[in-house]
Chains A and B, each alone.
Chain A
């Protein structure tokens, strides 16, 4: 069964600290993995998108890693800011007749709260 599991479910850290969010998946055949940031009541915004051959990708203070062998990904946030408080969603795409879309599997997200 194709699933995406994220941990922890919620996380509280102090401003300036680093944190790492985890995503484990069983989606097959794998196409790509994305991390989105979703502020409360807003639409998700893409942070990174990684294909099978990419092990790491950075976007400012966000660094995503991918281990396609163990089917694990992590999102590392460096020097957290209050504005990082949001839900972080891991999305895994399965291939489907040559298209990379149309079959996406969403994790339930990690709710990150950054305290001053």
Chain B
């Protein structure tokens, strides 16, 4: 079974340009999460999509936006790129957002599965 796939693997842009990153979740997963991980820093939550709708948003400016398509794949768009946008952008997927952890029974653990990330470099 294919895992979470992200493209492109690497992307180089210049200041002021726009970047589009793509994510395909695991088959059957409806929730997609985007995170930014700048060099040496922890993961910062960007966006959460579920069933085609934006469910939650992190503390990022509006030039960070995205969408989720009917097939549950997702795009992250970053407009007016700034140097500090250089980072590894990680996408994660999970089963339906209403799932609850049932502990050791293993049913609906609400686990997050991460892709390998897209490395964005802004020059």
Contact = CB atoms under 8 A, between A and B. Distances in A.
A109 B42 contact: yes
A42 B117 contact: yes
B11 interface: no
A49 to B, nearest CB: 6
Contacts of A43: 4, 90, 92, 114-117
Given A43-B4, A100-B99, A108 B45 contact: no
Contacts of B59: none
Interface of A: 31-32, 34, 36, 41-46, 49, 51, 53-54, 89, 91, 93, 98-104, 106-109
Contacts of B97: 99, 101-102
A89 B101 CA distance: 20
Contacts of B63: none
B62 interface: no
Given A44-B114, A101-B112, A49 B101 contact: yes
B15 interface: no
A99 B98 contact: yes
Nearest to B88: A41
B114 A100 contact: no
Nearest to A107: B42
A37 to B, nearest CB: 11
B86 interface: no
Contact of B43 (A32, A54, A106): A106
A51 B101 CA distance: 7
Contacts of A49: 101, 109, 111
Contact of A100 (B55, B100, B116): B100
A43 B88 CA distance: 9
